[in-house]
Amino acid sequence: MNLGLVIISGLLVSLSFPSWLVNGLHPWTGWLAWIALVPALIALERMPPGRAAFAGWVGGLVCWLSTIYWVAAIREMDYFRLPAWLLFAGTLAGYWAFWGWLVARAGPRRALWVAPAAWGVAEWLRSWLFTGFPWTPLGASQWAAPALFLSARFIGVLGVGVAIVAFNGAVRALLVPRERRWPAIALGGAAIAALLALSPVAGRHIARDLAGARTVRMALLQGGFNEEEKNVLPIDILVARYEMLARQAAADHPAVMVWPETAVACAIQAPGLLPRLRKVAKDTRAAQLMGALNEAPGGVIQNGVFLVTAKGVEGGYLKMRLVPFGEYIPAWFRAVSPVARKLISMLVDLSPGTGPVTIALPGGGAAGAEVCYEAVFAAHGRMMALHGAEVLVNVTNDAWYWRTAATWQHALGPVSRAVECGRDLVRCANTGATLTVSPRGEVAGDIPLFVPGVQIADVRLIAGRTAWVRMGDRPLLIVLACLLLFAVRRRD
């Protein structure tokens, strides 16, 4: 029975996001997050810590098997798809095990207010441990509820997630004896009150930032090529489609045209490519901000974004955070696994860029690039804002995910970064979702998946720093760590 309750929580947390049940941003299911962990809290708080860790792991396994079901649909992974799905989900479930152990270790009297602190620490660990995988953090489920989500401008998406868990504890507290009820209810009430109070303040700050902000018109070019087409079709055909889209977009007189990540699956130095890009820039009178590979001396290959004008390459950014087992094979895995050679043969083994670089836009302004997966890392968006980015540009290729919910789960990263950093964000995807996001978290984009198209956006250039950009998650983490150290020093 207790294990079943934790399993229910795992499934509800997963379904709070775009999923196999709701494959898209609508209808919004984020409201489930406010009750999703109540069954788990009922089950865990009276378990021995070891058993609670196992129960948490099972709940986490269900959650992640449901959330990342799309791993088993990535055709390019061949016969690794099913083992990778199971292994990845099982590893991520370890964070739930950690959470369950801490909740049980705290004992019944403290469990309901230890739970949010433990969840916050676990999500923070997941954002960097073993290279990090901050996919679908609980707070991101509230992207469509600005009355709550705009508070991320102050406390980050991590803080919104902590508040959600605190509210779950308050709901659970309605079912416990009276003497234990009020501390948890007070904490949960204070948490949601903080979100409701901070969000209107954030709205006023956003209005101040946007007043008189300069704008730059951008055209987002969605090529619509699936992964097989990108790898098989001649470069000439790939480039020709983007040239056609660029001519179409030129009617709206954009200053910058954005191409997706590795738009034509070759290096920027490929023979004949740069002259064609320069001609597109000249004919359309717009700089071309293109995702492409870079061939550096010594056989080093990097993933990046390059600003090409009629004069040539005038700026760029090289991706710093690569996808393990997608863009490179970690050194430790090469040393211990006999399948490493097979995996290396299936992908281009890339090298990371060496530092945050903003891209100067025509007419002034600086863009902070986020290549694909980098947009799910809160620290990357913050780093770009600290280095002077006035708009965030996410280029990505989600063709790997086909028509699964992964595309929409991935898109919640850019939505979160726009709100946390107080920046307009444009997201140009090869197959979708191509969209724009305002600092209020408003999402716009109507190009269907796997269909070529153009989206025009008048992007505001914002130089100010939000409270979260200035401080990051450190103040919140200090509070959470102190709560945990105090609470778990001994059991009731």
Contact status, residue 136 vs residue 450, Cβ threshold 8 Å: no
H helix intervals, 211-234: 227-232
* Cα–Cα dist 277/399, whole Å: 23
List all residues 6 or more positions away from 93 whose beta carbon is below 8 Å from its beta carbon.
56, 57, 58, 59, 60, 61, 63, 64
Please report how the helices 111-126 and 81-106 are oriented relative to each other, as an axis angle in degrees rounded to 10: 150
Tokens at 202, concatenated? 């954030």
Classify 126 as helix, strand or coil. helix
Residues 399-431 have pLDDT tens digits of: 889 899 999 999 999 999 999 999 999 999 999
List all residues 6 or more positions away from 191 whose beta carbon is below 8 Å from its beta carbon.
116, 162, 163, 164, 166, 167
pLDDT per position in the chain (492 positions), as tens? 689 999 999 999 999 999 999 999 999 999 999 999 999 999 998 899 999 999 999 999 999 999 999 998 887 766 778 888 999 999 999 999 999 999 998 887 788 889 999 999 999 999 988 888 999 999 999 999 999 999 999 999 999 999 999 999 999 888 766 656 777 788 888 999 999 999 999 999 999 999 989 999 999 999 999 888 888 888 999 999 999 999 999 999 999 999 999 998 889 988 889 999 999 999 999 999 999 999 888 888 899 999 999 999 999 999 998 888 777 777 666 655 665 555 555 566 788 888 889 999 998 899 999 999 999 999 999 999 999 999 999 999 998 898 999 999 999 999 999 999 999 999 999 998 999 999 999 999 989 999 999 999 999 999 989 999 999 999 999 999 988 887 766 555
Strand-pairing partners, residue 287, are 256
Residues 216-241 have pLDDT tens digits of: 999 999 999 988 888 888 899 999 99
Contact status, residue 459 vs residue 216, Cβ threshold 8 Å: yes
User: What confidence score (pLDDT) does residue 113 get?
Assistant: 83
User: What confidence score (pLDDT) does residue 31 get?
Assistant: 97
Tokens at 480, concatenated? 């959470």
HSE of 103, CA atoms in CB hemisphere, 13 A: 33
User: What confidence score (pLDDT) does residue 351 get?
Assistant: 85
User: What confidence score (pLDDT) does residue 154 get?
Assistant: 97
Report the predicted TM-score, pTM, of the whole model to 2 decimal places.
0.93
